[in-house]
Structure 1
Amino acid sequence: MTPGPIILENITKIYRTRVGPHRVLDNVSLTIQPGDKIGVLGPNGAGKSTLVRIVSGAEEPTRGKITRGMSISWPMGFVGGFQSSLTGYDNFKFICRVYGENAKELYPFVQDFSELGHFLREPVRSYSSGMRARLAFAISMAIDFDCLIIDEVIAVGDKHFQEKSRTELLERRKHKTMVIITHEMHFIRENCNLVYVVRGGELHRFEDIEEGICFHESAFG
């Protein structure tokens, strides 16, 4: 089936805190077309990760409507979905069942790409945060998602693993739709065709990448 757009309409996200409701996103809308490479920028705490979790379905909005016309990965920097008492391998098999994938066929790729060795057969609770991120990234690459959600995961691991991850994403997966959170402005310049800036609960769209970066950086001026 040909992928269709992802459409967020009038999305509001409110968290309950001890001092009262905190509105992170306030009636924001965006459309992600197949093949788009979207950079999401904003000050720390502005709601960038909240936005991409809502796009992926990892988190629900307080209000608003979402239409997803393509399959979407979980945020690659998000490892909260693993069952810590299970091994990495068992978590992988469970995810394959959820997405209707053949674990036996995909396992060699996950084993090779994650570079976890015998730790794949150990409980995830024994993993470092970097090891969890490697596992999440490898599984995301193994499953053929239409849209990849990237939350700074390419900074995981040593230089070798970072370069391998960049190659897998930017060369072998360059035809995929991507929604990217990163503080690397050169990465945005080189790989994105749209920029969204989250600021003050609002979402600002820029087709001119430099204009979007300047708007983002003005928050620190």
Structure 2
Amino acid sequence: MIEINGLYKRYHNHHGSDWVLRDINLTIPKGVSVGLVGRNGAGKSTLLRLIAGMDMPERGSIHRGCRVSWPIGLSGGFQGSMTGRQNVKFVARVHGGRQNVEDIIERVRDFAEIGEAFDEPIKTYSSGMRARLNFGLSLAFDFDVYLSDEATSVGDRAFKAKASKAFKDKVGQASLIMVSHGEGMLKQLCQAGVYLQNGRATWYDDVKDAIAAYHAETDEARKQRGEQVGQVASGKSQQRPGTAQNELALQQGKTKKPSEAQQAQTDTSTQESETREELESLVARRRADFEVAKSAFEHAKAMQLVEMDLKPYQRRFRKARNQLQQAQERLDSSSAAEDAGDNSHPGSNHS
């Protein structure tokens, strides 16, 4: 059982010191797997680090009546000048107890699948390689509760499937506390859910109810931005044909997420057939994506992440900014074309 009482957390920096988490009171029963849901910047990863003991609360307390892993998916904690093998050996001696150290090393090496890099310094690893090693190292020990921060999104398709299976194998032997944007994974592996909003935490006995609460928040935000949610505008769907199906397939892992170049090509190919209303809807969606990416990037900078861990947030922010600019340019071009058409219409000149 994990008990969280009156927990407050904030980070003091030049951006200000708003509470990331405020007055969190939770009791996570033994053997219950929990999914943490909420918007980017809601404090999910922060709460996970606090539960792991990697960070300290400003106020309040966390009582762990069980063995809790470090957050799988976070690549911090390794000594950069030591090799992967040396790092694993060190951790195995600390946490391994009566387990055979050499056996743990081999299990981690086989699971991580990083080849000869296992005997190279950690500082030469990519972020994906570090996460793979962290994942394998975490699962090499018998914890009562495993913490996961987007761990199943690491690596190629084969490794993601391997990671998902490893989690499923742990269910029944141990419980999970998981952060993931893959709703299908949360529904498969978690029974309960914790929804984080404005620094507050709400417990749900069913993770599906937590996900529904998160959807209600995002739908309300879209309505406030003037977007239509779940409605049909002017006899046409708010999204272009196939978009809703593609997004659903992406969530279920059935299709690959299109690259930026592919997205730009798709946008260009459909530009001619888009109405002004559809372009305005596209701009609104791109602006919403940009605000989310901007918020995540600023939060990552405030947490003072190392450059390697900060780059994904920076790339996502730049991509969202570029897509917003492209959509706005297309809308402006469409508006200019309509104005030109009106001016050239017979009878429009009054001499």
| TM-score, length of structure 2 as denominator length | 0.60
d(CA) in 1 for partners of 2:149, 2:49: 10
1:173: Cα distance to partner? 4.3
Selected match of 1:69 from 65, 72, 80? 65
Alignment of 1:182-197 (within 5 A): 182-197=180-195
Query: 1:211 maps to which residue?
Result: 209
What residue in structure 1 maps to residue 145 of structure 2? 147
Residues 45-99 of structure 1 deviation map (CA, whole Å, 9 limit, x = unaligned)? 0100000110111111111111111111111111110111110111111111221
CA distance in 1 between counterparts of 2:6 and 2:148 reads 23
1:19 Cα deviation after fit: 3.6
Moved more, 185-194 or 10-19: 185-194
Farther-moved stretch of structure 1 (104-113 vs 49-58)? 104-113
Of residues 56, 74, 80, the one that matches 1:84 is 80
Q: How does 1:119-138 map to 2 (within 5 A)?
A: 119-138=117-136
Code of the aligned partner of 2:55:
E
Cα distance change of structure 1 residues 172 and 49 upon mapping to structure 2, 3 Å threshold: closer
Alpha-carbon deviation of 1:107? 1.5
Letter in 2 for 1:123: P
Give yes or no for the alignment of 1:177 onto 2:175: yes
CA positional deviation for 1:100: 4.0
User: Do the aligned partners of residues 141 and 173 (structure 1) sit closer, same or farther apart at CA in structure 2, a change above 3 Å counting?
Assistant: farther
Asked if residue 17 in structure 1 is aligned to residue 13 in structure 2, the reply is yes
2:43 paired residue among 38, 44, 47: 47
Residue type at the aligned position of 1:206: Y
Please state which structure has a larger fraction of its residues in strand. 1
* Residue among 156, 159, 183 paired with 2:157: 159
SS of residue matched to 1:205 = strand
Q: CA deviation at 1:22?
A: 2.0
How far apart, CA to CA, are the structure 1 residues paired with 2:63 and 2:47?
14
Q: Does 1:201 align with 2:199?
A: yes
Q: Measure, in 2, the Cα distance between the counterparts of 1:139 and 1:52.
A: 18
List runs of 5+ in structure 1 lacking aligned partners: none
Q: Is the 8 A contact 2:72 2:149 kept in 1?
A: yes
Matches of 1:172 and 1:63 in 2, distance apart?
33
Shift of 1:105: 2.2
CA distance in 1 between counterparts of 2:206 and 2:115 reads 44
Query: Aligned equivalents of 2:33 and 2:86: distance in 1?
Result: 32
> What is the match of residue 110 of structure 1?
108
Q: Does 1:29 align with 2:25?
A: yes
| Secondary structure at 1:75 match in 2 | strand
Q: Unaligned stretches of 5+ in structure 2?
A: 220-351
Normalized per residue, the structure richer in helix is: 2
Q: How many residues are matched?
A: 217
Q: C-alpha deviations, 1:121-167, integer Å up to 9, x for none?
A: 10001100000000000000111111100111111111111111111
Percent of residue pairs bearing the same amino acid type: 37
How far off its partner does 1:171 sit?
2.3
Partner residue in 1 for 2:93: 97
Q: TM-score, normalised by structure 1?
A: 0.94
Deviation at 1:30, TM superposition (A): 1.1
Deviates more, 1:25-34 or 1:126-135: 25-34
C-alpha spacing 1:142/1:148, structure 2 compared with 1 (3 Å): same
Determine the C-alpha separation between the residues in 2 that align with 1:38 and 1:78. Answer: 18
CA RMSD of the aligned region, Å?
1.3
Task: Give CA deviations for 1:21-61 in whole Å, capped at 9, x if unaligned.
Answer: 12101010111222111000000001000001101111111
Q: Determine which structure has more spread, i.e. the larger CA radius of gyration.
A: 2
2:32 matches 1:8 = no
One-letter amino acid of the counterpart of residue 36, structure 1: V
Is 2:171–2:189's contact at 8 Å kept on the other side of the alignment? no
- More contact order relative to length (CA 8 Å, sep ≥ 6): 1
